[in-house]
Amino acid sequence: PKTILLAEYAPPAYQVSTIDLEFRLDPHATRVTATSRFDRMAGAAADAPLVLDGAGLRLVSIMIDGAPVGPDRYDQQEERLVIRGVPAGFVLTVITEIDPAGNTALEGLYQSNGIFCTQCEAEGFRKITYFPDRPDVMARYRTTIIGDPVVLPVMLSNGNPVADETGPDGLRRIVWEDPFPKPSYLFALVAGDLALHEDSFTTISGRSVALRLYVEPRNADKCAHAMASLKKALAWDETAYGREYDLDIYMIVAVDDFNMGAMENKGLNVFNSKYILARPDTATDADYAGIEAVVAHEYFHNWTGNRITCRDWFQLSLKEGLTVFREQQFVADHQSAAVSRIHDVRVLRAAQFPEDAGPTAHPVRPDSYIEISNFYTSTVYNKGAEVIRMLHTLIGEDAYRRGMDLYFQRHDGQAVTCEDFIRAHADANDLDLGDFFRWYVQAGTPEVSVDTRHDPDAGTFDVTFTQTLAPTPGQPVKQPMVVPVRAALIGPDGAPLPMMLANEPADAPQAGALERVLVLSDRVTRFTFMQLPERPVPSLLRGFSAPVKLDTRAEDADLAFLMGHDDDPFNRWEAAQTYAIRVIHRLIADIGAGRPLVLPLEFREAFTRTITDDALDPALVAEALTLPGESYLAETMSRIDVEGITTARQFVRREIGRSLEPQLIALFDRLEAAEAGQPYAFETAAVGRRSLANLCLAYLGAAGGAAGLERAERRFATATNMTDALGGLLVLADQPGELSQPAFDAFYDRWKDEPLVVDKWFMVQATASRPDALDHVLTLMEHPAFSMRNPNRVRSLIGAFAASNPQGFHAADGRGYEFLADQIVALDAMNPQIAARLVGPFKRWRRYDDRRQGMMRAALERIMSRKSLSRDVYEMVTKSLA
């Protein structure tokens, strides 16, 4: 397979102004006629061949200006069609035939439960017809869909319907026209028997937009939350970014078989049903939150992605990082801002930090790839969003808005680069952002350590930051990054103190402020603060103002102080996490040395203070008392100690559950009573109460006492919403079979007709801690409800086991590794994108003990030895082994 390089980008020789597509739908033989107007670009050679992308197509015919083009004029290469001797301007007609029902890769045109749907990003359009399938070719689309109206009563494409007639042959022909030029990756077509849930929205300029949500008829009662989320998103983008929706119809279709979360096709989003369907009894609070966020995300792409798109796929973060940041701002404005920031950071640490530290580390703007599908990564998305957030922090909200306004004004209708984006912000505010751009080109997570020195006589407090950035594949040497550190200095009474820098005029912009943004731009940066006779406790990187690993070298006592006093809720949480990580690390060391395990008294006391303080927000309490996850804990160790992490973490959970049993029960009962009789609402306070109640239950369950288990059984059996039911089930899942199996059976029996709930059933079992974890997963693979064809199912069982059941997956006998390798190989023949995602848990193999390293490497080598690997899996495996 060939490596594609950013440095080799060349603009297309021919542009397309219009494309007329006709689909004669048939499950196994859909005929596609594409008629496009091409024009040679100024600067392209007169004999430049026409290069079209195409994959897995049956070519029926080619015509130029109505005259057939014979095989002597074109070459069919692997995924290309090259036509020689074309005029400067011409109309190309290509007829191809495709097999949607046989398309198991779920890219291009495929069927999901009989519904025809498309997924074209990044390079799926080439599986529909021969075309320059690259984002810098933007054309106006007109789409005719021909099908049997009895089987396919709903037939949709981008834009507006402009004609609709049923012919004497009984076939219906509907024509859609999208007035906005777009790249091929935003094309969409949907046809099937779908129920419509409709609403409308009046835009800020008074236009009425029809909002149409299409789902399978059995799901008609699960649309309300997605629709409400969509309306919030339209309204928010108008006020927060001054962006109005631009078509008269906004359509969303939910399908069960989908490779990722959703797709922002112009005017016709296609969604994984997981991110649309919700009813209180079938969906958890986390599902409701995911729906709100993803519906908004796809909507926000209308401006950041669709109206302004990427010049090439290296620029993917131009739309994804920016849109994730916009989504995060939207969520923070609608739910608890502190909790939502904590969630952003948890995701970043669990997924992106390991990526940045592993063999597939790449910059936010990668400079090479083998398969672009592999680059829809946490680095491009989540670190990309952190980069936009840092820009926002560095220049401030008003300057950021000026920069965004200029970006929209300057580039509307264009396909642009990350440089163009940063230039708009620099030009709008007369700033030099040259060094800041390193965040786009250098991979790896900077490590920042802090040294402080207080001089009581001089009243000065020095804070010295030292940053290092370790080498990553292909980048041995790095430049220092521009790191914005939001900071405060907390006085002994818990109040933040004025921050006055030495040698700073009293009227300097931030002089004397209670919180400042300190900018690190060198390897070592020192700040000296004045007028501080008593030593303050620094609160640094507030709100996680930069995606770095910060080592504050704080004393335990300072952490405990910040846990109780920091006025930045994120940092209060962070202090608790840092403290918990320390405690767990010490316990791991004790395990290794064979010392008896003891939960430190101060830790338990800090924990007790937090659960018994009624003044605190339950949601934040739940976050503060949730121990760092195993993946992030692994990330904090240079050599990952599988047993140590699990044993230490379990010990802390059990000890807390045991020693705080009365307090946890009292709190749980109080929270449950507050909820009793209330109808379910996805509303910040109620979500917080449910999450804290479930956390209490989890600790009680870890201790295994009768009072806790009784409550878990009761909650599971009597819950009226899925959040509570699952809270009970998760506790029962870790208990012996007499307790867990009846719960699983009852759950399946009740929900077997709801695929998204059955996914939960698989997932809870796949991640349960039980000695026979792998055998249980193997049994579940034989269950009639399991299917390798459905990505959600694969993720719920195989993906969840490999990524979130470390005891099972990393079992000392290595069978977990063999199992995963087998599944990757089996899936690769069906759906390479999903197969490549499953390589993830193998990527950190070099961080484990020698025995596990050997077994994981052998598993990767076994995959490599297969003859016909997809580009997707090939790239992930070779890079992991390199």
Binding site for ligand B3K (CB under 6 A): 121-122, 260, 262-264, 297-298, 301, 320, 373, 376
Residue 121, binding choice from Zn ion, ligand B3K, none, Cβ under 5 to 8 Å by partner class: ligand B3K
Rounded-to-integer distance, Cα 518 and Cα 541, Å = 9
Q: Nearer Cβ to Zn ion, position 417 or 472?
A: 417
Q: How many of the other CB atoms lie within 10 Å of CB of 263?
A: 24
Q: Nearer Cβ to Zn ion, position 320 or 344?
A: 320
Q: Nearer Cβ to Zn ion, position 320 or 558?
A: 320
Residue 426, binding choice from ligand B3K, Zn ion, none, Cβ under 5 to 8 Å by partner class: none
CB of 780 to ligand B3K, least distance (A): 27
Rounded-to-integer distance, Cα 524 and Cα 446, Å = 13
Residue 482, binding choice from ligand B3K, Zn ion, none, Cβ under 5 to 8 Å by partner class: none
Residue 312, binding choice from Zn ion, ligand B3K, none, Cβ under 5 to 8 Å by partner class: none
Evaluate whether 545 touches 517 at the Cβ level (below 8 Å).
yes
Sites for Zn ion among residues 149-188 (CB under 5 A): none
**DSSP H or E run through 836:** helix 832-837
Q: Nearer Cβ to Zn ion, position 380 or 428?
A: 380
Evaluate whether 194 touches 226 at the Cβ level (below 8 Å).
no
Q: Find all residues with CB under 8 Å of 677, minimum gap 6, and list them.
A: none
CB of 375 to ligand B3K, least distance (A): 9
Q: Find all residues with CB under 8 Å of 334, minimum gap 6, and list them.
A: 232, 236, 292
CB of 707 to Zn ion, least distance (A): 45
Sites for Zn ion among residues 319-358 (CB under 5 A): 320, 323
Q: Nearer Cβ to ligand B3K, position 123 or 558?
A: 123
Show the site string, 596-635: x = touches Zn ion by CB under 5 A, - = not. ----------------------------------------
Evaluate whether 25 touches 173 at the Cβ level (below 8 Å).
no
For residue 447, indicate whether it is catalytic. Answer: no
Residue 376, binding choice from Zn ion, ligand B3K, none, Cβ under 5 to 8 Å by partner class: ligand B3K
Q: Find all residues with CB under 8 Å of 270, minimum gap 6, and list them.
A: 117, 118, 119, 188, 190, 252, 253, 255, 258, 262, 263
Residue 392, binding choice from ligand B3K, Zn ion, none, Cβ under 5 to 8 Å by partner class: none
CB of 316 to ligand B3K, least distance (A): 8
Residue 253, binding choice from Zn ion, ligand B3K, none, Cβ under 5 to 8 Å by partner class: none
CB of 294 to ligand B3K, least distance (A): 8
CB of 263 to ligand B3K, least distance (A): 5
Residue 568, binding choice from Zn ion, ligand B3K, none, Cβ under 5 to 8 Å by partner class: none
Q: Nearer Cβ to Zn ion, position 323 or 417?
A: 323
Q: For the range 528-531, what are the long-range contacts, defined as Cβ-Cβ under 8 Å and sequence gap of 24 or more?
A: 528/460, 528/461, 528/462, 528/463, 528/501, 528/502, 529/460, 529/461, 529/462, 529/463, 529/489, 529/499, 529/500, 529/501, 529/502, 530/459, 530/460, 530/500, 530/501, 530/502, 531/459, 531/498, 531/500
Q: Nearer Cβ to ligand B3K, position 377 or 740?
A: 377
The residue ranges of DSSP E strands in 336-446, in sequence order, are 368-369, 415-416
Show the site string, 528-557: x = touches Zn ion by CB under 5 A, - = not. ------------------------------
Identify how many contiguous H helices and E strands the chain contains and give both numbers.
30, 32
Tokens of 815: 């069978």
Q: Nearer Cβ to Zn ion, position 277 or 293?
A: 293
CB of 112 to Zn ion, least distance (A): 20
CB of 529 to ligand B3K, least distance (A): 42
Residue 105, binding choice from Zn ion, ligand B3K, none, Cβ under 5 to 8 Å by partner class: none
CB of 214 to Zn ion, least distance (A): 21
Taking phi first (over 0 means left), then psi (-120 to 50 degrees means alpha), and beta for anything else, what does residue 870 get?
Answer: beta
Q: Find all residues with CB under 8 Å of 159, minimum gap 6, and list them.
A: 141, 176, 177, 178, 179, 180, 247, 249, 266, 267
Sites for Zn ion among residues 282-321 (CB under 5 A): 320
CB of 740 to ligand B3K, least distance (A): 36
Of the listed 264, 292, 298, 386, which one is catalytic?
Answer: 298
The dihedral of CA 367, 370, 374, 376: what is its sign? positive
Q: Nearer Cβ to ligand B3K, position 9 or 376?
A: 376
Tokens of 198: 């409709």
Question: Phi/psi at 810 (nearest 5 deg)?
Answer: -90, 20
Q: Nearer Cβ to ligand B3K, position 120 or 671?
A: 120
3-class secondary structure, 176: strand
Angle at 146 between CA 221 and CA 78, to 5 degrees: 100
The per-residue DSSP string of 516-578 comes to EEEEE-SSEEEEEE-S-SSPPEEEESTT--SSSEEE----HHHHHHHHHH-SSHHHHHHHHHH
CB of 23 to ligand B3K, least distance (A): 21
Using CB under 5 A as the binding criterion, the count of chain residues that bind Zn ion stands at 2
Residue 120, binding choice from ligand B3K, Zn ion, none, Cβ under 5 to 8 Å by partner class: none
CB of 668 to ligand B3K, least distance (A): 38
Residue nearest to ligand B3K (CB): 121
**First CA to last CA across the chain, in angstroms?**
16
52-83: buried (b, 16+ CB within 10 Å) or exposed (e) per residue?
bbbbbbebeebebeeeebeeebbeeeeeebeb
Rounded-to-integer distance, Cα 839 and Cα 858, Å = 13
Residue 408, binding choice from ligand B3K, Zn ion, none, Cβ under 5 to 8 Å by partner class: none
Residue whose structure tokens are 């008829």: 217
Q: Nearer Cβ to ligand B3K, position 313 or 527?
A: 313
Q: Nearer Cβ to ligand B3K, position 213 or 712?
A: 213
- CA-wise closest residue to 301 among 334, 339, 261: 261
Evaluate whether 136 touches 183 at the Cβ level (below 8 Å).
yes
Residue 122, binding choice from ligand B3K, Zn ion, none, Cβ under 5 to 8 Å by partner class: ligand B3K
- List the alpha helices (DSSP H) in 208-247: 224-241
Q: How many of the other CB atoms lie within 10 Å of CB of 428?
A: 20
Measure CA 862 to chain center. Answer: 30
- CA-wise closest residue to 794 among 106, 27, 55, 100: 106
Question: Phi/psi at 77 (nearest 5 deg)?
Answer: -95, 180
Name the residues that contact Zn ion, by CB under 5 A: 320, 323
- Tell me which residues are annotated as active site: 298
